[in-house]
Structure 1
Amino acid sequence: MPPLIKIRSERDQMSAIERRIADFILENAHLLRDYSSQQLASALGISQSSVVKFAQKFGFKGYPDLKFSIGEAVARLGGVEPPTPLAANAEADVFVRIESGLRRSKAAAEEETRAINPRQNLEEIAELIDQAGKVFVCGLGDDGLYAREFAMRLSLLGVLTVHHADPILMMANLSAARPGDVLLVFSEFGKLATLSQISRQFQAASGKVVSITRHTANPLRAHADAALVVSAHDSEPHVEALLYRSSLQYLLDFLFVLLCHVNDDRHRQLNINLERIQHLLDS
């Protein structure tokens, strides 16, 4: 996993000093090559040993290895984009800055989300869903909107889907769970005790639980049989929320397309259902 993505994804579990180091690196990755461990420590008002320990925590022998790895990552991404004449002329244009900033942030969040969900993991989850007798789908609040849409898409593929936005109704329906069934649980932060309880009950019936959360340590993800994770980080909370939704949608869209290709019968059923729906709309 690229070092910047790993640092960003684990920031919430860091100590106060580690977060200061992480924030400096994330905000100044393109300048890190000019900083020695002592200079970085001095800039942050911490000890040099704290910088070294931070690097070792992420699997590097020391700070030079971390710096080199981050330098390579920045180079692969093309470094810092040089300002274009248009950007220079529009520097004071709030509209342009907001639009271009949001576009770049969404693209970066989706790329990070792609990187932290390895191919093998996605293929295994697609196989679980494809082979399941029934797929239960649950999510509350904003998560419920994405849960409902994905449940509908699974139904179009011919997957027998049980969807509820009400945790009490979902708990009642768990009596129909059988070995091999799958539960998809949508929860951005993965800390809702109700969803964890539903997951445990489902696993007690020998079903498989797939969590969909942020790429952070959380109870729901920790106890799930498989996990889809989303990367979304920004200093502005309202922008961060948009990045999460954008990255989550990308991840679900890719999983849906993957399901269309792993089973030809599913793909044919999708086309049949789409034709039926179009016929209803035209009648």
Structure 2
Amino acid sequence: MASVLNEIQSIYASLSDKEKNIADYILANPEETSRSHIQELAEATGVSVSTITRFAKKVSCQNFVEMKVKLAGGSEVKEGDGNEQKLIASYREMLADVQSLTDPKPFETVVAHLIKAKRIFIYGLGSSGLAAQELNYRLSRMGFVSEAVTDPHLMIIRSTLLEEGDLIVAFSRSGQTKDLLQSARKGKEQGAKLIAFTAFGETPLTELADAVLWTVHPLRSNFILTGLDMSTLYLIDRISLHFLADQNREKMYLKTIEAIKER
């Protein structure tokens, strides 16, 4: 994870309450932070100057000044921009963020798990359920045996009946959703593998996962996108394009398009 913002995201779950105050403020206001004095940031976040200095070191900066320098220039939104310009800039920033979060090796591991899986069960609750349904739609059309599970009761039922060779794909921004975690643990006990799509590092979900793909922290968009966010869609699209490069997968996908046209 290259940037300060991504570094904050990766260690967020392990931060103290005061450090999370700093993290939340910086994630929501990176440009403003880059122009702030350390005392101004301390007052804005309700912490001491020494706490901010320690926080800077936790995100791989020698001091607050270095953290400011790394944060500078990240946003394309200018004073007086309208909502459309702000939204466009937000999309651009999210794409840049998710690209910096996506390392080739974990992605290759995820793809290998998907290919090897006998059955794929895609879990997601609330807005993460939209992501689960979208990925299932893509995989099903390319010949994978998959199912989106967005009901917590059905989720634990499915996990109880999993076996070796099965794969769980879990969407959870926080990585701490109780019902999803219970089902993920049960599935792992039954011998299934687990892939996590999440925005937080060092959580119960990442500890359980055999592979992790990172989505952008929701504060990076000021919660503008509360449904299927662009960073998640980017990863789904990337997985889809990877498999569609295979002529057999592409042929299956096109076959489903024709079937739908014939309805």
TM-score, shorter chain, exceeding 0.5:
yes
Distance 1:99 1:68, change over 3 A: closer
Query: Partner residue of 1:135?
Result: 120
Kept in 1, the 8 Å contact 2:168–2:187? The answer is yes
Q: Which moved more, 1:22-31 or 1:198-207?
A: 22-31
- Looking at secondary structure, tell me which structure has more helix per residue: 1
Counterpart-to-counterpart distance in 2, 1:197 and 1:82 = 44
Match of 1:278 among 240, 258, 261: 258
Shift of 1:12: 6.3
Structure 2 residue 183 is the aligned partner of structure 1 residue 201: no
Shift of 1:98: 0.7
1:28 is paired with a residue whose SS is: helix
Counterpart-to-counterpart distance in 1, 2:10 and 2:187 = 28
Distance 1:158 1:28, change over 3 A: same
Counterpart-to-counterpart distance in 2, 1:280 and 1:51 = 57
Query: Partner residue of 1:41?
Result: 39
Q: Which amino acid aligns with 1:272?
A: M
Distance 1:81 1:97, change over 3 A: closer
Q: How many residues are treated as equivalent by the alignment?
A: 256
Q: Which amino acid aligns with 1:248?
A: T
Match of 1:115 among 96, 100, 112: 100
Shift of 1:199: 1.0
1:241 is paired with a residue whose SS is: coil
Match of 2:174 among 177, 180, 189: 189
Deviation track 1:73-132 (CA, whole Å, cap 9, x = no partner) reads: x3xx5x76777xxxxxxx4xxxx7111101111221232122122111111101110111
Query: Partner residue of 1:259?
Result: 243
Q: Kindly indicate whether structure 1 or structure 2 has the higher relative contact order, using CA contacts under 8 Å at least 6 residues apart.
A: 2
**What TM-score results when the alignment is normalised by the length of structure 1?**
0.75
Q: Which amino acid aligns with 1:281?
A: K
Structure 2 residue 150 is the aligned partner of structure 1 residue 165: yes
Kept in 2, the 8 Å contact 1:196–1:219? The answer is yes
Deviation track 1:33-88 (CA, whole Å, cap 9, x = no partner) reads: xx5xxxx23663565533432222223334454445445xx3xx5x76777xxxxx
Kept in 2, the 8 Å contact 1:30–1:80? The answer is no
**What TM-score results when the alignment is normalised by the length of structure 2?**
0.80
Q: Which amino acid aligns with 2:96?
A: E
Kept in 1, the 8 Å contact 2:9–2:217? The answer is no
Distance 1:220 1:132, change over 3 A: same
Structure 2 residue 145 is the aligned partner of structure 1 residue 147: no
Counterpart-to-counterpart distance in 1, 2:131 and 2:76 = 34
Match of 1:221 among 203, 206, 209: 206
Q: Which amino acid aligns with 2:106?
A: N
Contiguous gaps of at least 5 residues in structure 1: 84-90
Q: Report % sequence identity.
A: 23
Contiguous gaps of at least 5 residues in structure 2: none
Kept in 2, the 8 Å contact 1:211–1:226? The answer is yes
